[in-house]
Amino acid sequence: MKKLLIFTFIFFSLFSAALAENQNKPILYTGNGCPHCANVEKFIENNNLSQDVIRKEIYQNSENANEFNSLCDKEGLGLMDRGVPFLYADKECIIGDKPIIDYLKSNVALENQALGDTKKDTVLNNEKKSSSQKLTLPVLIGASLADSINPCSFAVLIILMTTILASGRKKRALYSGLAFSLSIFISYLLMGLGLYSVIASFETSRVFMQIVGVLAILLGLFNLKDFFWYGKGFLMEVPLSWRPKLKSLLNSITNPIGAFFIGFLVSLFLLPCTSGPYIVIIGMLGNENTYANAIWLLVLYNLIFILPMLGITLGAYFGLDLQKAEKTRTKKIKYIHLITGIIMLGIGILLLLGVI
C-alpha cells in the first residue's frame, strides 16, 4: 500500500510537471495550405524546435479552431485582426511568419547551433530589414489617391453619365453611375486579391521589394514624361486604338443593370492606365503578415480609388456641367500625370532606400 501511494505520488508529480511544462510552451496555430505558416513550420523543423512549440492546425480541426477563436476573444482580438500563423507565448499574441520567427530566435533556445553567431546575426538583420518593409497607411493612401485621379476613369464616367443624362432621366443616371462605380470596385478588388494570392505564395525578399521599387520609379518617370511631352511615345492612358470600342460600349448603356455589368468589361480597358500604382501596392502587400489584413487594405485602396467616380456621379445628379468637366479634365490632364508621377517616384525611391 505504501509503495502504491509512493508510485501514485510520483506519477501525479511527473504528470503535473509535464502539464506545467506544456502550459509554458508557446502555442502555434496554423492552417493547411497557408504559405506563411509553412515558413514558420520550416524554421521550426530546421532548428529542431518541435519539442519547444505546441502546434495546432485550425483549418481542418474544428476543436483547434474553436480554441483559437476563444483565445482571440479572451485577448480582445477582432475578427479582422485574426489570422495564421498565430503564436501565443507569454500571454502575448504574435501574428505573421516573420514576427514569429524573430520571437522564436530571441526567446526559444535553439538546439541546432550549426549557424555561427556572425551568420545568425546577418540572417536576423536581413529578416528584420525585410519585415520593416511593410505597407503603411500613408503609402497606401498616397498611391490610391494618385490612382483615383487618373484621367481614364474620369473620362469613362463622364461619357457614361452624359449618355444616360441625354435621356433626361437623372435618377437613372445616378443609379447607373453608382452601379458602375460598384462594379469597378468589385472587379479591381477581385483582381487585387488574385494577384496578392500569387505573390503571397512566394517568400518575399529584399530583392523583390527592390524590383517593386524600380517598377514604381519607372511608372513615375512615364507619368512625368506625359507631363512634359504629352502625347509623344508611350502614353500612360487607355491606348488610342481601344478608345472607339470603349466609347461604343459606354454609349450602349441605358440602365443601372447594364452599367453594373459593363463595368467589369470596362475595367479591362482601364488596366493599362490604372494598374501601375495598384500593382506596386499589391507587391508591397506580399510582405504583409495576414490575409485578413491584406483584404481590408485592398478594400480601403479601392474605396479611395472610386471616390472621384462617386463624386462625378453625385455632381451630375445635382447639376454638374459634364461638358465643362470634360474640358477641365482635358486641360488639366498633364498636371494629373505630374501628381501621379511625383507620388510613384517618391514611393519607388523610399522602397529602394529601405525606408518603407
pLDDT tens-digit profile of 184-229?
899 999 988 888 887 776 655 567 677 878 888 888 888 888 888 8
What is the model's pLDDT at position 299? 92
Domain boundary among 128, 153, 179: 128
pLDDT digits (tens, 9 = 90+) for 78-102: 877 788 899 998 788 998 888 888 8
With a cut of 80, say whether residue 288 has pLDDT above it: no
Give the residue carrying C-alpha cell 441605358. 254
Alpha carbon distance 271, 268 (integer Å): 5
Q: Tell me: do 181 and 103 sit in the same domain.
A: no
Q: Does the residue 6 lie in any domain?
A: no
Burial class (CB in 10 A: 0-12, 13-18, 19+), 244: exposed
Residue whose grid cell is 518617370: 221
In whole angstroms, how large is the CA radius of gyration of the chain? 27
Could you give the C-alpha distances from 208 to 70, 102, 204, 211, in angstroms and in order? 37, 20, 6, 5
Domain count, the chain: 2
Statement to judge: residues 298 and 170 lie in one domain: yes
Q: What angle do CA 68, 74, 77 make, to 5 degrees?
A: 75
| Residue 57 near residue 64 (C-beta atoms within 8 A) | yes
Task: Report yes or no on 3 lying in a domain.
Answer: no
**Cβ atoms 183, 264 nearer than 8 A:** yes
Domain residues for 184? 132-353
Q: In this structure, are 97 and 215 located in the same domain?
A: no
Helices (H) and strands (E) in the chain, counts: 13, 4
Does residue 20 register a pLDDT over 60?
Answer: no
Share of the chain above pLDDT 90, in %: 5
Helix axes 256-285, 151-165, angle to 10 degrees: 170
Q: What percent of the chain has pLDDT over 70?
A: 75
pLDDT at 104: 85
Q: Are 276 and 236 in contact (CB under 8 A)?
A: yes
Which range has highest mean pLDDT (34-38, 158-162, 163-167, 326-330)?
A: 34-38
Residue 243 lies in a domain: yes
- pLDDT (tens digit per residue) in 256-282: 888 888 888 877 777 666 677 887 888
Neighbours of 267 (CB within 10 A): 21
Picking from 76, 101, 128, the residue at the C-terminal end of a domain is 128
Whether omega before 85 lies within 30 degrees of 0, making that bond cis, reads yes
Comparing 45 with 240, the larger pLDDT belongs to 45
The most confident of the ranges 68-77, 161-170, 223-232 is 68-77
- Give the end of a domain, one of 102, 128, 154: 128
Written as nine digits, the cell of 94 is 504574435
